[in-house]
Amino acid sequence: MSYSYQVKSLEEYNAAYKKSVEDPEGFWSAIAENFLWRKKWDKVLNWNFTEPSIKWFEGGKLNITENCLDRHLATKADQPAIVWEPNDPKDNKVVLTYKELHFKVCQFAHVLKNNGVKKGDRVCIYMPMVPELAIAVLACARIGAIHSVVFGGFSAQSIADRIQDAQCSTVITADGGFRGSKVIPLKAVIDDALISSPSVKKVIVLSRTHIPVSMINGRDVWWSEEINKVQNADCPAEIMDSEDMLFILYTSGSTGKPKGVVHTCGGYMVYTNYTFVNVFQYQPGDIYFCTADIGWITGHSYIVYGPLSAGATTLMFEGIPTWPDAGRFWEIVDKYKVNILYTAPTAIRSLMGFGLDFVNGKNLSSLRVLGTVGEPINEEAWHWYDDNIGKKKCPIVDTWWQTETAGVLISNIAGITPQKPAHATLPLPGIQPILVDEKGDEVKGNGVSGNLCIKFPWPSIIRTTYGDHERCRQNYFATYKNLYFTGDGALRDEQGNYRITGRVDDVLNVSGHRIGTAEVENAINMHTGVVESAVVGYPHDIKGQGIYAFVIFNGNMDDKELLKHGIVQTVAKVIGAIAKPDKIQFVSGLPKTRSGKIMRRILRKIAEGETSNLGDTTTLLDPAVVEEIKNGRI
Ligand code: WT7
């Protein structure tokens, strides 16, 4: 049985999967033939998970923007590449054809060069969801600069940490951004971040909201003025090695500050394209709408690079799902006749809560495929999505992956492989999952559970954590020998379908945003008077997980509510609004072992509302503290 690039039947999936395991190099080299390489690779794959050292398509030369833009000009010059829906539905949309996007990317690439950006330099991008964000990302890639996009919801401190870690020379931002009824002062936040970031020499500022901003002479320049200086927009692409860095994207782990996940040019391009085309069963001419922000990996891989490398029309939305009302997504689907919709369970659960009035009356008949990503989807939300949005006619792909994997690893393939509510189902071709127990022994057979690992590299696997390779090894490759450890737990049902049950480490998933408990604790501890804190997740109807903080405070506690607000503000300042605790409980002590380790298991149970069966508490230094915490539960 043979199979095509885009698998078209269950048999083809099975054949592709079999080939990908038996002959991974043969499989991926045939896939990689479908791209524009300036020079073909010498070796398909070179790897070990011990260092780790992973190289795909070594010796290959390419530029990903030639694959996303130039190669489509012959046949798709006038087809929309990006369709942009502004925050305010009364404002005008923007449509950029492939020809126009190519022109704008090349033009802005010149702006970067004119401002001193060179191949290998790191560029921080902190922008709202406007077409210029995609243009900035692609312009970096055009000249071989490494982009580090920071989500617009992060604080000045978080940006500063990221800028300093990557030693960025340049920042691209906007005066502000519109989000629903709010205006977010992005440039002002950047100004604060730059007080402690001397590596930054230039800031390029897009005018979006026309709010007043301070422009520092010699450092800050306006996007539009710089564009006007470009005489000739011709910009040949920098020819990159397959393993040259394409971007850094920071993400939270169970310890310390966020780490810069590094992805490289060749493998990333191949894998995001392959998975985009297959998982969603993309058809030429489709209008594809992913509701994520480009500040997260979903936006990198499945708003920008995957769809554009496939010559698709990708819809970018500036606003939020609930403004002007909770029908906004469905209105957009209706307005643009969206064929493929990719969103997050948290959005579905939130919109469910507003009722069907916002869905009824919208024409959703253009939809052919639905997708979800970011967290486990509960069955209720899955069925609501299936019944009311897909009208039971659209397959739903439940795509499991991570910042570190850069592309979908486990998912059904729309309409091709069987779907099962709340299950990511089967691995994609090239992906070899394995479940292990605590000791690292393989959990064989079906109807089992364990920690989810992957035993063989795929083209877009994380290469390193920027500036700290040892951290990458420790985090992902040291827990279990010769395995990539995902940090997730999973069940495998009788048919071999995977169901991801959530993180088994100290990482929270709040509204699909990944947040480390240690990060939140560090932020809380910065508040004056806080002696110590412990943060755990608890089930939250809409967010998936909420943040529950236990805080020991030494000082005036006359106005506890005011104090709580103060702590919440501190977290917002240090990390960003996305990490604000939902609940704060003041305690006189934390349950610790004799060696001083906080027993989070107990706190997690209390936060979840389970107060009777707390397990063994005899190893605690002070068992009485548990009673107090139980009684004070919020
Ligand atoms: C973590 C990765 C993948 C891009 C967005 C999030 C959880 C992701 C699913 C899913 C169950 C999921 C996992 C994973 N997750 N997709 N379909 N079902 N859980 O990327 O911020 O790197 O977070 O999100 O726990 O480890 P991320």
Q: What is the pLDDT of residues 400-426, one digit of tens each?
A: 999 999 999 999 999 999 999 999 999
Position 619 pLDDT exceeds 90: no
Residue 240: half-sphere exposure toward Cβ, Cα within 13 Å: 31
What does the pLDDT average to over 479-495?
A: 97
> What is the reported pLDDT for 574?
97
Q: From the CA of 401, how far away is ligand 1's center (Å)?
A: 5
Confidence of residue 47 (pLDDT cuts 50, 70, 90): very high
Q: Which residue has the higher pLDDT, 619 or 195?
A: 195
Confidence of residue 591 (pLDDT cuts 50, 70, 90): very high
Confidence of residue 254 (pLDDT cuts 50, 70, 90): confident
**How far apart (Å, rounded) are the C-alpha atoms in residues 475 and 403?**
13
Q: From the CA of 402, how far away is ligand 1's center (Å)?
A: 5
Angle value at C-alpha 260, between 373 and 476, nearest 5 degrees = 70
Torsion of CA 372, 374, 378, 384, to 10 degrees: -30
Q: What number does the ligand 1 atom closest to the CA of 403 have?
A: 22
**How far apart (Å, rounded) are the C-alpha atoms in residues 505 and 503?**
5
Confidence of residue 617 (pLDDT cuts 50, 70, 90): confident
What does the pLDDT average to over 322-349?
A: 98
Q: From the CA of 150, how far away is ligand 1's center (Å)?
A: 18
396 closest CA partner among 372, 365, 417, 379: 372
What does the pLDDT average to over 539-548?
A: 96
Tokens of 26: 């043969």
> What is the reported pLDDT for 198?
97
What does the pLDDT average to over 12-22?
A: 98
> What is the reported pLDDT for 595?
85
Using CB atoms within 10 Å of the CB of residue 558, give its burial: 0 to 12 exposed, 13 to 18 middle, 19+ buried. Answer: exposed
Position 623 pLDDT exceeds 90: no
Look up the pTM and report it. 0.97
What does the pLDDT average to over 555-578?
A: 96
Position 556 pLDDT exceeds 80: yes
> What is the reported pLDDT for 196?
93
> What is the reported pLDDT for 624?
87
Q: From the CA of 514, how far away is ligand 1's center (Å)?
A: 8
Share of the chain above pLDDT 70, in %: 100
**How far apart (Å, rounded) are the C-alpha atoms in residues 323 and 398?**
26
DSSP 410: B
Pocket test for ligand 1, best of 248, 294, 375, 451 (most atoms within 8 A of CB): 375
Position 371 pLDDT exceeds 80: yes
> What is the reported pLDDT for 353?
96
Query: Atom 17 of ligand 1 has which residue's CA nearest to it?
Result: 400
Confidence of residue 24 (pLDDT cuts 50, 70, 90): very high
Q: From the CA of 408, how far away is ligand 1's center (Å)?
A: 10
587 Cβ contact partners less than 8 Å away, ≥ 6 residues apart: 550, 551, 552, 625, 628, 629, 632
> What is the reported pLDDT for 87?
98
What does the pLDDT average to over 122-143?
A: 99
Q: Are strands 513-516 and 530-540 parallel, antiparallel or unpaired?
A: unpaired
Query: Atom 11 of ligand 1 has which residue's CA nearest to it?
Result: 376
| DSSP symbols for 500-538 | EEEESSSEEEETTEEEEHHHHHHHHHTSTTEEEEEEEEE
**How far apart (Å, rounded) are the C-alpha atoms in residues 517 and 533?**
10
- Residue pair 406/374 in contact (Cβ under 8 Å)? The answer is no
Pocket test for ligand 1, best of 485, 514, 543 (most atoms within 8 A of CB): 514
Query: How many distinct helices (H) and strands (E) make up the chain?
Result: 20, 30
**How far apart (Å, rounded) are the C-alpha atoms in residues 123 and 194?**
13
Q: From the CA of 104, how far away is ligand 1's center (Å)?
A: 33
Share of the chain above pLDDT 90, in %: 95
Position 592 pLDDT exceeds 80: yes
**What confidence tens digit (pLDDT) does each residue in 72-98 have?**
999 999 999 999 999 999 999 999 999
**How far apart (Å, rounded) are the C-alpha atoms in residues 221 and 469?**
35
> What is the reported pLDDT for 596?
86
> What is the reported pLDDT for 613?
81
Pocket of ligand 1 (CB under 6 A): 251, 296-298, 373-376, 398-403, 424, 486-488, 500, 502-503, 509, 514
Indicate the helix (H) or strand (E) that contains 165.
helix 156-166
Q: Report CA 40 to chain centroid distance, whole Å.
A: 30
Query: Atom 27 of ligand 1 has which residue's CA nearest to it?
Result: 402
**What confidence tens digit (pLDDT) does each residue in 448-478 have?**
999 999 999 999 999 999 999 999 999 999 9
Q: From the CA of 512, how far away is ligand 1's center (Å)?
A: 7
- Residue pair 376/345 in contact (Cβ under 8 Å)? The answer is yes
Q: Mapping DSSP to helix (H, G, I), strand (E, B) and coil, where does residue 477 land?
A: helix
**How far apart (Å, rounded) are the C-alpha atoms in residues 234 and 236?**
7
DSSP 39: B
Position 1 pLDDT exceeds 80: no
